[in-house]
DNA sequence: ATGAAAGCGCTAACAT
DNA sequence: ATGTTAGCGCTTTCAT
């Protein structure tokens, strides 16, 4: 049987309030009693029951996280940042993988409500009304990571997707490429998808290459689909010399396809990725990519949620962190 | 303010006990009252407070998971299996990333205790006495995944590491290789390390190649270290034609090193990995590897923990799941 | 079949 | 400075 506050009190020869005080307001209790209580706590390995505390404080010090795909390295980086922030701020984190399944996501929100999480972090997926209503109906505060919402006033932290895409494509243009194509997200709920297409188009237009801006093939999130998309892309636009991919995993799929067709990367075709997942530097060739500060994004999103919980509001609603171009081996001058 | 059972009772015009009954023993309450209560619950979006429930049942229906590195794809696969099992059995999962830091791990155990998780799953790391004592001291039931313990009687689910390594090396031998080397785990706390070395040695001995069995260089868990280890390995044993790696990530590191030295894989050197992480099929060349059933291991470990929680014991203490060799492109006949 | 009331472990207001 | 007690939201006797 787990020891309770009563056991500690008995052992230390004091009342339960005194025990409670040494835990919550140590300086209101005399030295000797405090020491005795501390000793009893130590001996019994006592830890206050968080159910009882939760009942009183109405706080669980637990945060919920909803991510689309835990096998995607992008989220692994974000999670590390979140966990460190949680440790700093005294929260536990409940990570739930939705597998991009709407029903599953909704069920997790129910679970969060039941477990009384203090707040939730919603990653990447588009905040459709159904999700919003449910969260709002339960009055669960939440923030968005690598996503944002203009319909609703929800705090978010992300990267500037349009600018990231623009920088990637501009880099390709500066390398001398003139036949540039793109692999985008075909997920209609992708929030990063449209701005990255716009960034692609803007860089192209600026260089007088607007005739390329329709050269986009869409793929859903994984390597295999990007591989297939690459096939389609090179069938449609065979003279392409550079491909901008909206995810590193897409870049790997494209390179893999090219490799199977004995087309050299970067010798004949240059490829740029997006995210800078840990694998990007391990792939052959190492990926040139637009890096997102994943760790920091995770960290900030927890801090932001905490701010929201603590003060009821947030200084800056839509926060953007800096991306940067990392040039490695998958690109070359034309 | 969240609605309580009292709000529901008032709205339905019954006592709180009746409300409680419709939730816990629906058939003991008359049709019409039950319906009224259900309606009230619906209207108020009432969900019982899990703190209050936890206080009574002394159960949180939450499980804790301790993993060494969430950025390692191996764990991502395991986690997916765990989450599905948790959904089936009605648990929530609290995933904690230890970064292989002992203090951090210990702190998470404290957090688990405080949050009263029903049980914990301990992944990969060796169960050192310190961990065991803490968990046992708190009386938290737990199981091990991709690990085991002979000192303590703790349920575990893993793969047969010795046999997996043996199969990998045997395959290399059958391919005609005679100069075989290995990259192992240098982590003294690795539980998979020693048996994989033994499997390596056994396959070698069986083929009269025992003079190779010292050809091992050790690396710590990541790509970069395997890259460096490969340098060391080929400096020491330059005529090596095949390398057995105890992790796919090591295999990638080795291949990357070889690539940088313009040594062809599998043309000149064959490489086998271990795990079959999702990246294994995406790498160039695609990795030949010993596949672990990660999803199933995760799933089973949760079921096993549940069995332990529900019955106080477990049918089979040390459970082993089947590995299998997957031949792809990183190996070739000598 | 239903309601009243005790009690789970804790905190905080109130007494002393 | 310390103890006594009400009450957080729920389940579960115990009456009725």
pLDDT tens for B119-175 read 999 997 889 999 999 999 889 999 999 999 999 999 999 999 999 999 999 999 999
Supply the mean pLDDT for chain B: 95
Question: Nearest CA to CA, how far is B206 from chain A (Å)?
Answer: 35
Q: What is the mean pLDDT of residues B173-181?
A: 98
- Other C-beta atoms within 10 Å of B249: how many? 29
What is the Cα–Cα distance from B293 to B291, expressed in whole angstroms?
Answer: 6
For A188, residues 6+ apart whose C-beta sits below 8 A from its C-beta are none
What is the Cα–Cα distance from B172 to B221, expressed in whole angstroms?
Answer: 23
Q: Find out whether B290 and B274 touch, Cβ atoms under 8 Å.
A: yes
Chain region(s) in chain A for CATH 3.40.50.2300? 62-159+294-321, 161-292
What is the Cα–Cα distance from B253 to B255, expressed in whole angstroms?
Answer: 5
Beta strands in chain B (DSSP E): 62-67, 92-97, 119-123, 142-145, 156-159, 180-185, 216-219, 242-245, 270-275, 288-291, 318-321, 324-326
Taking the CA of residue A42 and the C1' sugar atom of nucleotide D5, their distance in angstroms comes to 27
Q: Quick one: pLDDT band at residue B114, thresholds 50, 70, 90? A: confident
What is the Cα–Cα distance from B211 to B202, expressed in whole angstroms?
Answer: 12
Phi, psi of A277 (to 5 degrees): -70, 165
Tokens of A33: 């009693």
What is the Cα–Cα distance from A155 to A152, expressed in whole angstroms?
Answer: 9
The answer to whether A95 contacts B95, with C-beta atoms less than 8 Å apart, is yes
Taking the CA of residue B17 and the C1' sugar atom of nucleotide C4, their distance in angstroms comes to 9
Nucleotide nearest to B56 (CA to C1'): C8
Closest CA to A190 of A154, A242, A157, A148: A148
- B100 burial type by CB count under 10 A (0-12 exposed, 13-18 middle, 19+ buried): middle
Q: Find out whether A292 and A188 touch, Cβ atoms under 8 Å.
A: no
The answer to whether A284 contacts B283, with C-beta atoms less than 8 Å apart, is yes
Look at residue B106 and give its three-state secondary structure. helix
What torsion do the CA atoms of A290, A291, A292, A295 make, to the nearest 10 degrees? 170
Look at residue B141 and give its three-state secondary structure. coil
A331 CB contact with strand D at below 7 Å: no
Nucleotide nearest to A24 (CA to C1'): C11
Half-sphere exposure of residue A154: CA atoms within 13 angstroms, side-chain side: 31
- Sign of the CA dihedral with A332 first, then B271, B189, and B66 last: positive
- Residue whose tokens read 């089936």: B88
Taking the CA of residue A18 and the C1' sugar atom of nucleotide D1, their distance in angstroms comes to 9
pLDDT on residue A1: 75
The answer to whether A107 contacts B94, with C-beta atoms less than 8 Å apart, is no
Query: What is the CATH superfamily name and number for domain B5-57?
Result: lambda repressor-like DNA-binding domains (1.10.260.40)
The answer to whether B94 contacts A96, with C-beta atoms less than 8 Å apart, is no
Nearest CA in chain B to A329: B260
Question: Nearest CA to CA, how far is B142 from chain A (Å)?
Answer: 17
Taking the CA of residue A304 and the C1' sugar atom of nucleotide D6, their distance in angstroms comes to 37
For A78, residues 6+ apart whose C-beta sits below 8 A from its C-beta are A67, A123, A145, A146, A294, A295, A297, A298, A301
Taking the CA of residue A300 and the C1' sugar atom of nucleotide C7, their distance in angstroms comes to 43
pLDDT on residue B2: 84
The answer to whether A73 contacts B71, with C-beta atoms less than 8 Å apart, is yes
pLDDT tens digits in sequence order for chain A, 334 residues long:
789 999 999 999 999 999 999 999 888 989 998 999 999 999 998 999 999 999 999 999 999 999 999 999 999 999 999 999 999 999 999 999 999 999 999 999 999 998 999 999 999 788 999 999 999 988 999 999 999 999 999 999 999 999 999 999 999 999 999 999 999 999 998 999 999 999 999 999 999 999 999 999 999 999 999 999 999 999 999 999 999 999 999 999 999 999 999 999 999 999 999 999 999 999 999 999 999 999 999 999 999 999 999 999 999 999 999 999 999 999 999 8
Nearest CA in chain B to A63: B94
The answer to whether B97 contacts A114, with C-beta atoms less than 8 Å apart, is no
Residues with CB under 7 A from strand C: A 2, 4-6, 16-17, 19-20, 23-24, 46, 48-49, 51-53, 55-57; B 14-18, 21, 28-30, 33, 52, 55-56
Give me Rg for the CA atoms of chain B.
25
3-state DSSP percent of chain A in helix, strand and coil, to 5: 50, 15, 35
Beta strands in A51-149 (DSSP E): 62-67, 92-97, 119-123, 142-145
Chain region(s) in chain B for CATH 1.10.260.40? 5-57
Closest CA to A214 of A204, A226, A228: A204
Q: Which of residues 33-92 of B touch strand D (CB under 7 A)?
A: 46, 48-49, 51-53, 55-57
Q: What is the CATH number of domain A62-159+294-321?
A: 3.40.50.2300
What is the Cα–Cα distance from B16 to B27, expressed in whole angstroms?
Answer: 16
With respect to CATH, is domain A161-292 assigned 3.40.50.300? no
pLDDT on residue B1: 75
């Amino acid at each position: 049987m787990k020891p309770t506050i009563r056991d500690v009190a008995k052992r230390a020869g004091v009342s339960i309030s005194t025990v409670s005080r040494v835990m919550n307001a140590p300086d209101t209790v005399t030295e000797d009693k405090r020491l005795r209580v501390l000793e009893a706590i130590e001996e019994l390995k006592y830890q206050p029951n968080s159910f009882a505390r939760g009942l009183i404080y109405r706080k669980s010090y637990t945060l919920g996280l909803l991510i689309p795909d835990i096998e995607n390295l992008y989220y692994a980086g974000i999670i590390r940042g979140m966990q460190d922030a949680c440790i700093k701020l005294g929260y536990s984190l409940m990570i739930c993988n939705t597998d991009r399944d709407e029903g599953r996501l909704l069920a997790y929100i129910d679970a969060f409500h039941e477990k009384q999480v203090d707040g939730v972090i919603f990653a990447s997926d588009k905040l459709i009304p159904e999700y919003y209503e449910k969260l709002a109906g339960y009055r669960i505060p939440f923030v968005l990571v690598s996503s944002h919402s203009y319909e609703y006033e929800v705090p978010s932290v992300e990267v500037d997707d349009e600018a990231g895409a623009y920088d990637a494509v501009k880099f390709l243009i500066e390398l001398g490429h003139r036949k540039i194509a793109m692999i985008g997200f075909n997920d209609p709920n992708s929030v990063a998808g449209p701005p990255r297409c716009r960034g692609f188009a803007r860089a192209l237009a600026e260089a007088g290459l607007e005739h390329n801006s329709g050269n986009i093939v869409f793929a859903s999130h994984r390597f295999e689909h990007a591989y297939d998309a690459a096939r389609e892309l090179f069938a449609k636009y065979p003279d392409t010399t550079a491909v901008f991919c909206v995810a590193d995993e897409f870049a790997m799929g494209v390179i893999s396809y090219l490799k199977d067709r004995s087309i050299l990367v970067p010798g004949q075709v240059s490829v740029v990725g997006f995210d800078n997942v840990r694998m990007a530097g391990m792939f052959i060739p190492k990926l040139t990519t637009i890096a997102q500060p994943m760790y920091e994004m995770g960290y900030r999103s927890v801090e932001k949620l905490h701010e929201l919980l603590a003060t009821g509001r947030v200084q800056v609603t839509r926060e953007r962190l800096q991306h940067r171009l990392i040039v490695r081996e998958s690109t070359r001058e034309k």
